[in-house]
Amino acid sequence: EDPARLAAFEARVAADEFIEPKDWMPDAYRKTLVRQMSQHAHSEIVGMLPEGNWITRAPNLRRKAILLAKVQDEAGHGLYLYSAAETLGTSRDEMTEALLSGKAKYSTIFNYPTLTWADIGAIGWLVDGAAIMNQVPLQRTSYGPYARAMVRICKEESFHQRQGYEITMHLAAGTPEQKRMAQDALNRWWWPSLMMFGPPDEKSPNTEQSMRWRIKRDTNDELRQKFVDITVPQAEAIGLKVPDDKLKWNEERGAYDFGEVDWEEFYAVVRGEGPVAKERMQARQKAWDDGAWVRDAARVHAEKRAAAKQA
């Protein structure tokens, strides 16, 4: 990179200016943004699958309508993020090919099965809760289109988190069997939710550069800590117990001390060994194949319109 241009770029980022699609940017900045934004978009789209599984099984019409709205929101989040990533010169087809070939990642959290209705509560409460923790700072990420997409997404995320917490609160205050379901879902979703924030800072190859170029405003561990500090009181408020016997309020730090994430499990799921990872990719591959006729029709229609315009 041309040192003078790099210095000017870094001065702009340090002054909290937004970098826009037509601005000069280091190749590494473009590359890491396509990486993060496309994987963020993949996570939104794959994330529709675990919840989609319960739309026809929701316990009543109100819950069904809310879950339907949430899953549709996630599709929209995926589209905003794919569109924002395209401003960096990649294409929808390239990003989809990277996902389907296994080259690109999506969040490990979506490789866990949704076994009972209480999982839908735990996903909204914990998974969308963690997503809010991680996405609120991204509203000030240095890349303009990404930051603006986040503003819109964060507004909808809070509805997702609230409806999930309400489901869980309702079950926890219900019959002993319902409370057991809510506790079982918390037990299965707690640690995978902590993994959403990424590996520990000292094991995070991207954090140093992402912090310098203000793509990230907080580190993985900082956000994970904030999530624990906010969520533990929410569990206690509805009589549920977080499945971590090392969890303890540390007056001095003004934060919770908590146990160690199972990083073996994390890296195994990142490698694609999650409980339902195969099913997730099969579902995405099928959706892509089933959609081929729509893409072909749209292309032929566009070609006909272009030819008509020429004539």
Best CA proximity match to 50, nearest among 104, 125, 107, 115:
115
- The answer to whether 199 contacts ligand 3HC (rule: CB under 6 A) is yes
- Min dist CB 275 to ligand 3HC, Å, is 14
d(CA 50, CA 292): 24
- The answer to whether 43 contacts ligand 3HC (rule: CB under 6 A) is yes
Which stretch, 103-111, 142-150, 172-180, 234-242, contacts ligand 3HC (CB under 6 A)? Answer: 103-111
d(CA 213, CA 16): 10
The conformation of residue 19, written as its DSSP 8-state character, comes to B
Q: Which is nearer to ligand 3HC, 73 or 244 (CB)?
A: 73
Q: Site mask, ligand 3HC, residues 69-88, x = CB under 6 A?
A: -----x--x-----------
d(CA 43, CA 177): 32
- Min dist CB 310 to ligand 3HC, Å, is 43
Q: Which is nearer to ligand 3HC, 158 or 250 (CB)?
A: 158
Which stretch, 40-48, 86-94, 114-122, 255-263, contacts ligand 3HC (CB under 6 A)? Answer: 40-48
Residue type, 50: P
Q: Site mask, ligand 3HC, residues 113-142, x = CB under 6 A?
A: --------------xx--x--x--------
The conformation of residue 57, written as its DSSP 8-state character, comes to G
Half-sphere exposure of 266 (CA within 13 A, CB side): 16
The residue within the footprint of ligand 3HC, chosen from 161, 163, 183, 207 (CB under 6 A), is 207
Which residues on neighbouring strands pair with residue 143, listed in sequence order?
A: 19
Best CA proximity match to 42, nearest among 73, 72, 77:
77
The residue within the footprint of ligand 3HC, chosen from 36, 38, 114, 142 (CB under 6 A), is 36
Q: Which is nearer to ligand 3HC, 44 or 86 (CB)?
A: 44
Best CA proximity match to 267, nearest among 34, 51, 105, 42:
105
Best CA proximity match to 112, nearest among 309, 273, 256, 290:
273
Residue type, 84: A
- The answer to whether 105 contacts ligand 3HC (rule: CB under 6 A) is yes
Q: Which two tokens stand for residue 306?
A: 């272009």
Binding positions for ligand 3HC, rule: CB under 6 A: 35-36, 39-40, 43-44, 47, 74, 77, 105, 107-108, 127-128, 131, 134, 157, 195-199, 204-207, 210, 220, 270
